[in-house]
Amino acid sequence: MSELASTPWQPSAGAAQPVRIASRKSELALAQTHWVMEQLQAHHPGLPLELHTLSTQGDIILDVALAKIGDKGLFTKELEVSLLNGSSDLAVHSLKDLPTRLPEGLVLGAITQREDPLDALVLREELRGYQLATLPAGTVIGTSSLRRLAQLRHAFPHLHFKDVRGNLNTRLAKLDRGEYDGLILAVAGLKRLGQEQRIHEVLDPSVSLYAVGQGSLGIECRQGDERILELIRPLADAEATARCLAERAFLRALEGGCQVPIGVHSQVRGEELHLTGMVADLEGRRLIRDTQTGSTADPEAVGVALAEKLKQQGADEILQAIFAQARR
């Protein structure tokens, strides 16, 4: 059964009742939420909207690596609580932050059109003549993602990788102060904040598979809330939905999370969905990668089949070792 909510079409009712929208307080989260609000207004002129901003655990704890905090709703739990207690009607998430198993009573109501999901290299000015592959040994690259870390350690063992926390502008400021020589960031976030001019190199998927759901927004709401489901229906994008459902099913079948070295790359060609997935150990010494093709009509089956392929090649062994290390 798909995790995506569905509801039969019904005439709009109670359009004058404000829709209360929960969002994180970060600049990027607000930019994404305002985009959703603009889309809702475009599709439902005159619809009253209320913005409720919340701080999540991931926003508050900035002096600890993400992997050490855990990833069970790190950037989503407080928004989900507001849905469950009725203080909000829908929550806007970066889909990559939304766990693949939602709390009882909540559903993924819509997956929006996808911004470029690839990763990007941002360098300080003195190094802009280099590419990632040509950077000198010992160059300090900042990333908070174990997925990026494992893949880049695998491809570029001569580079030095250092954890970086904070919102996008905070990270760019640390780069400009010389705390890092370069950063690996999501193309989507840079574009949404008007910082695409900082992109030095977009990383090819052969080097860095991206995070599950990266580049898409997930709109979460209460199960059975037909009014809200109807209102957000026009914001759903069919291709992004197929791709992201396959990716999330892949991650769920592996029982992984946001802070595990699991990456994906998906494409839709006609009615075929092509999904590539990767699992690596933390050091990037062992990396398993494969591809699965299936129908866009059943994207989650594609993700599950790919997960089984990787399990047969040793993905379970890699992930169990990571989970055991995390429990120590």
Choose the catalytic residue: 97, 119, 225, 281. 97
Return d(Cα 93, Cα 71) in angstroms, integer: 14
Question: Would residue 107 be called left, alpha or beta, if left means φ above 0 and alpha means ψ between -120 and 50 degrees?
Answer: beta
DSSP string, 45-100: TT--EEEEEE--HHHH--SS-HHHH--SSTTTHHHHHHHHTTS-SEEEEEGGGS-S
Active site includes 97? yes
Residue 242, CB half-sphere, CA atoms under 13 Å: how many?
20
Q: Judge whether 199 and 186 are in contact, CB under 8 Å.
A: no
| Both tokens assigned to 41 | 């207004």
Pinpoint the alpha helices (H) of the chain: 27-43, 57-60, 66-69, 77-84, 146-155, 168-176, 187-192, 226-232, 238-254, 299-312, 315-327
Using CB atoms within 10 A of its CB, is residue 99 exposed (0-12), middle (13-18) or buried (19+)?
A: buried
Write down the residue that tokens 């037909």 correspond to: 226
Q: Judge whether 291 and 206 are in contact, CB under 8 Å.
A: no
Return d(Cα 229, Cα 272) in angstroms, integer: 27
Give the catalytic positions in this structure: 97
